[in-house]
Chains A and B, each alone.
Chain A
Amino acid sequence: MTERSADSEAHPLNRIDPVIHAPARLKVMTQLYVVEAADAAFLIRQTGLTWGNLSTHLGKLEESGYVVLEKGFRKKRPYTMISLTSEGRAAFRAYRANMQRALAQLPD
């Protein structure tokens, strides 16, 4: 690895997680970060996404190991609760730190 590519790797912008960085997924991750678990209706209401959009983004986050879907029945009614995995929480913390560092380095 050359010196230039090492510098470029070290820049916080290059360490931004693209899975979280997409606006819709960032909204979902933020909502899930501040609670223990939430259902899809809550996420739709808070993020403004549609069912289809949310489902697609949750699929991507689940694929990355950031969220886990807990399906079950309560009083004979199906429900799905979505929560961040410990990996997802760590990734979100790292994303926040990298973004803060990257923005702090920008000139006024």
Chain B
Amino acid sequence: MTTDGLKATERRAFRAVVDTGLWDVFLAAVFAMLAIAPLLSGTLGDFWSSAIFLPVYAALYLALRIVQQRVVVPRVGQVRFGPDRTARLKRFTMVMLTVNVAALVVGLAGFALFERITGDWVFPVTLSFILLIGCSAAAHFLEIPRLFLYGLLLAVAPMVGEWLFRQGYASHHGFPVMFGIAAGVIAVVGLTKLVFVIRSQSPIVGDGA
């Protein structure tokens, strides 16, 4: 058995446990906020139209944890990964933290410099770039190529949305329609994967090894 063969076995083990579709559903929910929040901002204001999603995320996260424990784990099992994978996940966390902090700094700097940058192309282009970097980093570190496609889908959303908005085809800079479509696609992929895991693998019952 070659080292490449063992690496592939480790990768399969990681994906069998982590890539069950649950995280896709959570990701879809995160981006659904970008679709729904602009529609609520007229009635709730900019802050509350986003803040209202925090308890929704908390509830969804808890629900997904319960599904993970009660439905997924009895089917796919549990694994503690070795030092290489743990180091890779730590690097991924650091990269995502850096990308998010950079996004925050760019956002704040943008508002400070341009006061309102949403009317310009700077905002959609920057957001596209950040989404592409974030999803590509996730795809690379988690070794799940599907995330590259999510990155492309999400990166296209702000720019096409802005174009649709300028042509008069969409409201709110095209966020509701474009991020709605992206979140919908990701949710469908995630749910399909989750249903496949549930239907193709019955729970393993036993009295312990």
B79 within 8 A of A: yes
Query: Are B209 and A34 within 8 A (Cβ)?
Result: no
In the complex, the answer to whether A41 meets B80 with C-beta atoms within 8 Å is no
Name which residue of chain A comes closest to B69, CB basis: A75
Report which residue of B1, B79, B206 has the largest number of chain A beta carbons within 10 angstroms of its beta carbon: B79
B72 to chain A, nearest CB (A): 11
Question: Quick one: given A30-B6, A35-B10, A99-B1, are A42 and B209 in contact (CB under 8 Å)?
Answer: no
Given contacts A54-B209, A58-B209, A71-B208, A41 and B6 within 8 Å (CB-CB): no
Asked if residues B16 and A46 are in contact (CB atoms below 8 Å), the reply is yes
CB of A41 within 8 A of CB of B74, answer yes
A19 within 8 A of B: no
Partner of B78, one of A33, A34, A39, A46: A39
Known contacts being A30-B6, A44-B204, is A37 close to B80, with CB within 8 Å? yes
Q: Is the CB of B208 within 8 A of A80?
A: yes
Taking chain A's interface residues, is the majority helix, strand, or loop, or is none over half, making it mixed? helix
- The one of A37, A69, A96 that contacts B79, using a Cβ cutoff of 8 Å: A37
Smallest beta-carbon distance A56→chain B, Å? 10
Q: For the complex, what is the distance from the CA of A7 to the CA of B81, rounded to whole Å?
A: 41
A44 to chain B, nearest CB (A): 5
B16 and A41 within 8 A (CB): no
Of A34, A43, A81, chain B has the most CB atoms within 10 Å of the CB of A34
**A40 — nearest CB in chain B belongs to which residue?**
B209
Report A54-90 residues with CB < 8 Å from chain B CB: 54-55, 58, 69, 71, 78-83
Q: Is the CB of A80 within 8 A of B81?
A: no
Asked whether A13 is an interface residue with its Cβ less than 8 Å from the other chain, the reply is no
B206 lies within 8 A of A40 (CB): yes
Smallest beta-carbon distance B198→chain A, Å:
13
Task: Say if the beta carbon of B168 comes within 8 Å of chain A.
Answer: no
Quick one: which of A45, A55, A58, A71 contacts B76, CB cutoff 8 A? A45
Q: How far is the CA of A61 from the CA of B73 in the complex (A)?
A: 25
Q: In the docked arrangement, what's the CA distance between A42 and B206, Å?
A: 12
Task: Assess the B75–A45 pair: CB atoms within 8 A.
Answer: yes
In the assembled complex, which residues on chain B have CB atoms less than 8 Å from the CB atom of A39? 77-79, 209
Option from B1, B79, B82, B83 in Cβ contact (under 8 Å) with A42: B79
Instruction: Tell yes or no: B9 within 8 A of A by CB.
Output: yes
What chain B residues lie within 8 Å of A79 (beta carbons)?
Answer: 78, 208
Q: List 27 A-B contacts (CB under 8 A).
A: A30-B1, A30-B9, A31-B9, A33-B6, A34-B82, A35-B80, A36-B81, A37-B79, A38-B80, A39-B79, A40-B204, A40-B206, A40-B208, A40-B209, A41-B74, A41-B77, A41-B78, A42-B78, A44-B204, A45-B77, A46-B12, A54-B209, A58-B209, A78-B208, A80-B208, A80-B209, A81-B80
The 4 closest A-B pairs by CB, nearest first: A42-B77, A41-B77, A34-B10, A40-B209
> Chain B: residues with CB nearer than 8 A to chain A?
1, 6-7, 9-10, 12-13, 16-17, 73-83, 85, 201, 204, 206, 208-209
